[in-house]
Amino acid sequence: MKKLIVLLVLLLGLILPVNAANILPVSVEPNDLRTIGVYQVPKTITLFESPEEGSKVINTIQWSPVDIFPEGVKFQDLFVVFVPEKELGYVAVTDEIEEWVQIIYNNKTGETAWIKKDDPYKFMSWIHFYNMYGRKYGLYVLKGAPDSVKNIRSATDDSAQFLAEMNMPTKIKLNVIRGNWALVSVLDLDRAPKTGYIRWRGDDGIRYLFPDIK
């Protein structure tokens, strides 16, 4: 009987589709400096060499929560953010004009191509993206972020009054983004609430925190 149950479980595992894993940034990426925001891509992505309808097509990528085509393309190479349960996929944008965005379609090599917008509201600058998703889900600190990120200050200035330090935050609630600073309410392991400004990115544009999208 046990063998029969195991066999049925294995068969169901083969038959039922399994969503790919969530993809979110893990560490600080200095190479991301050239990006200006993100674009929520449709299930079929046509990559053009230049922002013109008659331009050479580099590739066409199709994706679903469980699969991606062509076979050589990987979810983690294409997406900056991928949440299969929500069918949500964002790619990094390096340039934008009226009807087009230039995206990084291979995060390993940094290769770029143009895609035509299917919806003008699907492009978001980094500040817009953080204000939208950071306020909804909170933030987390990326590996490799400088220790100064832990400093909570009274204003958006490195010389502003030091209020507290994040030690091991269990929750970083974003209230609003102001330039390179984020007004946050932090709950640490010591259970003491701390509110003030922290840097979410440096003056050079390197991001230190990211929305904890779930």
**Residue 209 and residue 121: Cα distance in Å, rounded?**
24
| Residue-level pLDDT at 145 | 96
- Taking 50 as the threshold, does the pLDDT of residue 72 lie above it? yes
Q: Provide mean pLDDT across the span 55-62.
A: 96
Domains of the chain in sequence order: 16-118 (no CATH), 127-211 (2.30.30)
89-141 per-position pLDDT tens digit: 999 999 999 999 999 999 999 999 999 999 999 999 999 999 999 999 999 99
Structure tokens at 1: 């009987």
Strand partners, 30: none
Of the chain, the percentage scoring pLDDT greater than 90 comes to 80
Cβ-proximal residues to 114 (8 Å cutoff; 6+ apart), any chain: 47, 48, 49, 50, 51, 55, 100, 101, 102, 103
